Structure 1
């Protein structure tokens, strides 16, 4: 952790253990034990674990809390935290690029999670990045993931209880795309998607043109900017 001085300067740092000798790949900050102090959740590279460091509010953190996932191969390429089932506890959503799925861990409010649930993103897709928003306007959070191997975006519509429907595909992304975000780029009240990568000097925006009900798929129109 590198500490800021409030004037734009980042000064000294302190290291905190994340458990056994396995590379940490992704992380997200949130209050996972509802004590109003920021904590850190970390996704590992090889080991199927989500590690939580509970914060003390002073810039220091407690020992690692190890949350095992139901997986053999793992690569936590992206992780995010949101209360996906609206129970007042932060949950964790992580892409598993090694097993072509999204894992959802519902929080217990103490830095631990219920057993992970996995949802397929398609065969040999290698989901690398993601975004959590309401993409079909039903008031329930959905998941969009960027599939690195198959060059497409998969969308999983949420049911509001921490589970998700089968993936649906938006085709036609560029090779080498690694990162994506979701936002309402044209201010029409619908969440759009933008992505970019290493092998193209462009950013592409998928505008959400959905006029559908919650059970139907939304359409996207593509605009590329250089």
Structure 2
């Protein structure tokens, strides 16, 4: 039985299931046009673009725009934050086909994206996460480089641009895939956790305040526990044992 429409936005699961997406591997949500309704960003692996579906109060995602990422780009993952401190959401997109990270900045006019900046990963990027890794209150990007067995850090400059990539190995033939950030050893310095497709394990890179990381520590047979709420504490316990 389908749930009744929510009083906040009148959206029901039937409408949500009918929203068309093509060859997508990830999705992100945010309020891009400042109307207090969530919008959806979906990278299209073979569409060479990210589709933004705008939410409506009584109708579901009738309007959309497409952020073109270039021919053969194959966008696979996106993350959303305000990278240039203008109180508007921006989008970072990983493109496996062109081996690049693209950052789109929301223009001063709502519903449109203006500036686009490009950064090379020198590999096949697979996913991206956001955090302040060098404790300067400016957001940075971490990217999994599936083809080079590492993660890459792009340090933010505060104006929407980023530094060249610094890489940290995830292990030989690891083929790093998904990435997340958090305080896994409770020192209030961001750490990185990555799933490794090639070696079927989970790697943890403990962060230092300078934006560098300790050598990747690998834990096996933990993939099924990744989404449980006590997973960070398990990592901490194993590192202390």
- Equivalence map 1:106-121=2 (5 Å): 106-121=155-170
Deviation at 1:95, TM superposition (A): 0.5
1:24-49 deviations in Å (ceiling 9; x for gaps): 11110011111110000111103232
Find the partner of 1:125 among 174, 193, 200: 174
Structure with bigger helix share is 2
Alignment root-mean-square deviation, CA: 2.3
The 3 A distance-change label for structure 1 pair 42 and 164 is same
Q: Number of residues paired by the alignment?
A: 189
For the 8 Å contact 1:208–1:218, the answer to whether it is kept is no
1:126-152 deviations in Å (ceiling 9; x for gaps): 111121011111111101101111111
Deviation at 1:106, TM superposition (A): 0.2
1:61-103 deviations in Å (ceiling 9; x for gaps): 014211223x2xx222110111222212211001011111000
Return the alpha-carbon distance in structure 1 between the equivalents of residues 54 and 215 of structure 2.
Answer: 42
Match of 1:55 in 2: 106
Is it true that 1:208 corresponds to 2:234 in the alignment? yes
Query: Structure 1: where are the runs of 5+ without partners?
Result: 187-191, 194-206, 220-226
Return the alpha-carbon distance in structure 1 between the equivalents of residues 162 and 154 of structure 2.
Answer: 6
Runs of 4+ more than 6 Å apart: none
The 3 A distance-change label for structure 1 pair 122 and 211 is closer
Structure with bigger strand share is 1
Query: Structure 2: where are the runs of 5+ without partners?
Result: 1-51
TM-score in terms of structure 2 length: 0.71
Match of 2:206 in 1: 157
For the 8 Å contact 1:67–1:112, the answer to whether it is kept is no
Find the partner of 1:95 among 135, 138, 144: 144
The 3 A distance-change label for structure 1 pair 166 and 130 is same
Three-state SS of the structure 2 residue aligned to 1:170 is strand
